[in-house]
Each structure stands twice: as structure tokens, then as C-alpha cells.
Structure 1
Amino acid sequence: MADKLRIAIAAGGTAGHINPALALAEELRDRGHEVTFYGRPSKLEGTLVPAAGFDLVPVEVTGFDRSRPWTALTSLYRVWSAKRALGKLFRAQGAPDVACGFGAYVEVPLLGWCKDAHVPYLLHEQNSVPGLANKMMAAHAERVCISVPAAREVFARADKPELVVLTGNPVRRSVIAGSRGAGREALDIPADATLLLVFGGSLGARTLNEGMAALKERLLAVDGLYVVQSTGKGGYDAAAEALALTEDQARRWRLLPYIDNMGDVLASADLVLSRAGASSIAEIAALGVPSVLVPYPFATADHQTTNARYLTDAGAAVLFTDEEVSGEAFAEKLLTLVTDAQERGAMRERARGLAQDRAAVKLADELEAVARA
């Protein structure tokens, strides 16, 4: 086995930053390396990181509000203070051999210290439209690893062609290891049924919920079709009222506020209808599930549409806008896909061809290479 490395990871704020970082950390831990996270205990990383069995070193920073420029002063002071505290910690306990930032503002003091101390670091960008923190820290990164090709042009440098590497977006093993059989058993859905899975991310999607209600009778008329619809916790009551499922209909249409065992449920699906957040795209691709994608129309710089192109350009998904969900073209395509196993099979093979399930391995390889260069 390769020599053991001390690896620092900065990720925080949202599951979209933290879960890919945890997927990388799982791969690195299996390779025998020591992994430590740096983040804000009061945020989501304060729950997810310790639950996954990794240490979290507190780093207290805040972003700034562009509409209130004076908040930049407080933000800069906290970055400076956090960077100084990290320097003191590393002098006492030993410095990392390499670091990796996942785009949240909490990475700035760690990677700033690495730059000054000549410790190599990588960045990972989950979205097609990179965030401010990664753009700030890219100048001194040894590698910028991207999830989709559309992010390349933001970071590409003629003097350093090896800088940008397409690794994909790491997906946690609990998702990749999802079992079709376990998912079907948990949902009490027959093994030979066709399963349409609908979800809009952790907060749900009102447009998808309303579109499904409008198509209820046509979907339930398809023999052997089951629907699992995750509404988001805030949308469950409205979706239940709109669907008004009878007891008999509810046997084939499972309405849930949230899905905990996403790996098994996604593995059990024959077709997915979803928003196009970076994590959703990564998980759908990793498990090779054919998909119909409806990007959130108010995402920054319309990045969900660009995210979706990763799958649609490969022929693994079809894309509709939010406005099109109420139209006949959307209805006809969704009904065609739930009845056409051959077309779904071709889409599944194209999704698998993206090798998204190996993203954590590729990112870990890049990190080891940089550390030992």
C-alpha cells in the first residue's frame, strides 16, 4: 500500500458540498490515509461529518452580502483569524500533506494557509457554474477537478493545461451500493413492475408535484406501472390533496415527504423525473437510471440546465423546462418512456458509459498524485 497521507478537506454549508467530500473521504480512508474535515460545527457539516466517522476541526467564517459591501470587512477579518488559528494548530499537531476544497467559503482560510505554507491543494467543483470560493482559490491550486465539462472554461489556463481534470462528482457508497431488490422490498413493489421515481431534491418541487397530479389518471392507466413520488416535506399536504388517491390507487402510487434510503430506491427505479441539481445528476448517473430532467428555473446562472446537459448530451436523459411540464409534449414523452423498455435500456447504457460511479476513485487518484509529485 502507498505511504499514509494526512489529508485536509474543507466542505460545508450544504449537502451538495458535503456529500461529495464524504464520498472522497470514504475512498481515501479505505486507502489507509488519515482524513480530517474543516468546517463550521453549527452548519450541516457539524452533523454529517461526525456521523460518517470523520473528525471535524471548527473553522468559523462567514461570507459577505454583495448588496452590503461593508460586510466584506467582517468576512475578511474572520478568514484572517481562522487562517491564523489553523497555522497555530498545524504547528502544534503537524501539517497536512495535501488539502482539498469543495467550493464553500469555509475552504478559504485552509487553502490560504496551504498556499503560504507551500502545501499542495486541489479544488473540486460540483456545479456547471462555479462558485465564488473556488474561483478565488483556483490560481494556486495544483488541480481543479470538475464534475461536468461545462465548468472547464472557467478554470482552464493555457500555461497549465493539466490544471483542469474531469473526474465527475463523487457519490457516497451508500448510494452507489443501492440494491434494486432491497428498494423494491422496502417499497413493497413487485419485481416485474415498472417504477417511476419522482423527486425534486430535499425541498421538493411544486411544478413536478402539480404536473404529476395532472397526469395521475393517464399514468395509472399504464398496466404494471408504480409511482414513488417524494414531494419534499413542505409540499406533501398540497400534493396529497391534489392527487386525492383512493385506497386502491395508493397501492400503486406511493407519496412520501422525503426518501431516506435513496440508494436503494434509485436503484429500484426504471425511470426518474427530477430537478437537475448537481447531486441529483451525479446519483442518477452513478446508478445509470434513465431520466427526465426539469431544471429549477431560478438557479444561479441557470446552472441546473447546464448540469442537465451532462446527461442529455450523452443521450441518457431528456430535458424539459418548468413551463413545459404542463404541456402535452412532456406528457407524451413521459408516457412513452414508462412504456418503452427498449428506449429506457439504451438510455441506461449511455448513463453507465459516463462512469460516474468511479468519480471518488478518480478524485482520490488525482489527490494522491499531487501529494507525491
Structure 2
Amino acid sequence: MKGSVIIAAGGTGGHISPGVALAEVLSEKAKQFGFDSVYIHSLVRNKNNPDLLNPPCEVVWHNIPQLGGLKTIIYPFLFLYPFLKTVLTFRKLKINAVIGMGGYSSLPAILYAILFRKALYLCEQNCVPGKITRVFARFANKVAFSFPLEEGYLIPGKTIGNPIRKRVIPEHLNIRQNENLHEGKKNTINVLVLGGSQGARQLNQMILKAMENPDIASKYKFRLLTGTNLYEETKTKAKEEAEIISYANDMKPNYEWANLVVARSGAGVVAECLVFGLPMILIPYPFAADNHQKANANYLEKEGAAVTIHSTSDDPTPLVQFLLLWKDHSEVLREMGHVSLALSNVNAAYQTVTYFFHDSH
């Protein structure tokens, strides 16, 4: 298959990061997979996304409007002009294959593939497939899943794992970060708190309140990545000693420091925690589309890599209970970490590309 491949990765970091991971593999091995060039198709508003500031290949920017609200009736008209621009650009770039990473921003690239009979491949990050996957899977040559789909979704495809960017992959694979936690010893348990790129006030508040418990403060050390918007607010409210960071461009040192992660259950963060063999306390974002974060968290809890707290308040009680339970039983964290590592796939990006373009099955 000569010509070029384009990866439609816009929307949120959850779509962009795995798309960039695929672009890294394809850029290095384009000829091996039968392509002349590789491109990423992303929204103009993502120009400052850290993954797209120094991308592995050229980014083709577009400005497709978001669906919803009052615009719904006139959406086809708003969509038409940017879509026609996409068609002309793709023809010029000789796009012969499209990889859709999900989200409304992948729509123009997917429609291009369908209308002009180009190869179409879809990546689904969550246990509950997004609308784009549900609608367009029937047109796709192949669909790759990051996690097993929740019961009731019958979309043919292969579960491979969420593609991980090179700069996040651990130096030492099969890392066992909790082997140094032994019962009865005084060593501190490091807790990394991740609220996502926008931050999560609920998580920050819950942690600050939990730290007021003297037993927790004496055993656990907290590092909060608050998100830029909530940094000042969290810093002001912190009574106890915690490391408070607004944003980290390089996540690897944070994962290597941690023994435990408290986070939302977006597919990207979860996949990164898995490759570092980290146990997780997951607090799903309750307003995520189709409640997909709840499904992701439930899957990891069922497997034994995480525990979940389904709550919209910042009441620290369930969090405090887990932390007190594990304070003198770090073997639980070690075991969860082993499960976490067993569920990870550090080579998901390469395997996904191979599945799409080399496997005949």
C-alpha cells in the first residue's frame, strides 16, 4: 500500500497520546509498513498540547466544530467547509489509510476514508466504546482495543493495549516498584495523585483532607499534580506537607518515584501506571461520556490492579480506609503491582501498527 497514512488524533490527551505513540512507530518504519509518509490530523486548539509541540511527524491542523448545543441544526453547514478543506489536503498528501483514535475530531478523516474507499482502522481506548467506534466500526478494516470491551458490546477486533509514547516507557522493564516495601519497616509509601490535564478539584481536596489524619501523614508522602488551573488554590489550602506540582512534561520520574497512584480512570493514565507496575486507587470522573471511566475502573478492580471509589464528593473517608488498611500491609500493594504489570503492554504501539498493516487475520 503506497501513499501516506494519517492518524486522526485530536480532542483530549486521551486520544492524542496513543495517536502520537502510533506515529512514532510508523515514522520510524513507514517503508516497512508500506507507506511513503506519515501524518497526524489534529485540531488547531491542540497546538499547545505537549505531545504535539515536538511531534514525530508533520501535523495537519484542522478546525472542525464540536457537535452539540444550539449548533446541532446548522452543524452540517458548519462541518462542510472544513471537511472540504480536509478532502483537498488529504488528496494532495496521497492519504491511502486513516487511523481514527476516537472523538468528534476524527470524524473528517474517517468520512474521507469511507467516501474515497481508503483503508480505515480504528483504535478504541476504553472498555465502553465511544460513539465514533460504535458508529464506524462496521466500515473499518480492523479495530484495536486497549482493554476488553464491557459485556454487551459486540464489535469485532483485537485487544492489544493502549499505545504508550516512548518517553513514558520505563528504562527498566518488569520494574517492581513495591519490592522495597516490607511489612513492619518504617519506609514511606509514596503516593502520586493525578487529576489529568485539567486537574481535578475533588481529588486534590480529598487528598488534603486525608493528610490531616496523623497515621496517614506519618506513613505516606504525597505528590499532587494539580493541573495548572488548580495549582494556586491547592497550594493555598495545603496545611500538611505535600509536594504540589502544577504540571509535569516528563511523567517518567513521577511514576518511578511512586508506590501508589490516586487518579481518574482515563485509559491513557491507567495504561501508563500499568507499565510501571503501579497499584491504583481510581476515582472515575462521573461525567465522562457513556460513563466510560467507571467501566475502565471496574475492569482494573476486577482484575486486582486497583480499587475504586465511586464518589462525586471530596469526603476522604473511603480513601482514608484504604490507606490505613495498607499502612502495615504493604504486601497488598506489592501484589496489586504485580497484577498491574501483568496487564500492561509496553509494545502496544508496535503491535497495533503490525496488526493493522501486516497481520492478515
Instruction: Decide which of 244, 247, 252 is 1:255's aligned counterpart.
Output: 244
Q: Shift in Å at residue 364 of structure 1? A: 1.4
Aligned mates of 1:310, 1:135 — CA distance in 2? 20
Counterpart selection for 2:202 from 202, 207, 231: 207
The 8 Å contact of residues 47 and 53 in structure 2, kept in 1 or not, is answered as no
Check 1:151–1:77 CA distance in 2 against 1; reply closer, same or farther (3 A cut): farther
Question: 2:163 touches 2:349 (CA, 8 Å); kept in 1?
Answer: yes
Separation in 2, partners of 1:86, 1:24: 21
TM-score (norm 2): 0.84
| Counterpart amino acid of residue 55 in structure 1 | E
Number of the residue aligned with 2:29: 31
* Alignment correspondent of 1:7: 5
- In 1, distance between residues paired with 2:154 and 2:85? 26
Report SS of the residue matched to 1:235: helix
Show CA shifts across 1:30-81 (max 9, x none).
3344321123334347873351231122334223325443222224423641
The answer (yes or no) to whether the contact 1:103–1:133 under 8 Å persists in 2 is yes
SS state of the match for residue 149, structure 2?
helix
The 1:116–1:231 alpha-carbon spacing in structure 2 relative to 1, beyond 3 Å, is: closer
Partner of 1:48: 51
Q: CA RMSD in A?
A: 3.0
Residue type at the aligned position of 2:266: G
Deviation at 1:201, TM superposition (A): 1.0
Q: 1:340 aligns with which of 303, 306, 329?
A: 329
Structure 1 residues 80 and 272, CA gap change in structure 2 (3 angstroms): closer
Within-5 A mapping of 1:154-303: 154=153, 156=155, 163-177=156-170, 193-218=188-213, 223=218, 225-245=220-240, 250=241, 253-303=242-292
- Return the alpha-carbon distance in structure 1 between the equivalents of residues 135 and 201 of structure 2: 35
CA distance in 2, matches of 1:78, 1:234: 34
Distance in 1, matches of 2:138 and 2:149, equals 19
Structure 1 equivalent of residue 138 of structure 2: 139
Q: Aligned residue for 2:183?
A: none
The residue matched to 1:288 in structure 2 has which SS? Answer: coil
| 2:191 partner amino acid | L
Deviation at 1:179, TM superposition (A): 7.3
Give the partner amino acid of 1:25. A
Change (3 A) 1:20 1:61: same
Shift of 1:133: 2.9
Q: Deviations over 1:63-106 (max 9, x none)?
A: 3325443222224423641353145414xxx343x321111333
Unaligned runs of 5+ in 1: 157-162, 184-191
> Counterpart in 2 of 1:113?
112
Question: Is the deviation greater in 171-180 or in 347-356?
Answer: 171-180
For the residues of structure 1 that align with 2:40 and 2:138, how far apart are their CA atoms?
22
Moved over 4 A (4+): 178-181, 219-224
Q: Deviations over 1:217-257 (max 9, x none)?
A: 43665656322112222222332233224xxxx4xx21222
- CA 1:45/1:21 → structure 2, altered by over 3 Å: closer, same or farther? farther
**What's the secondary structure of 1:149's corresponding residue?**
coil
Alpha-carbon distance in 2 for matches of 1:63, 1:325:
31
TM-score (norm 1): 0.82
Q: In the alignment, is residue 64 of structure 1 matched against residue 67 of structure 2?
A: yes
Distance in 1, matches of 2:3 and 2:154, equals 27
Name the amino acid aligned to 1:286: V
> How far did residue 349 of structure 1 move?
0.8
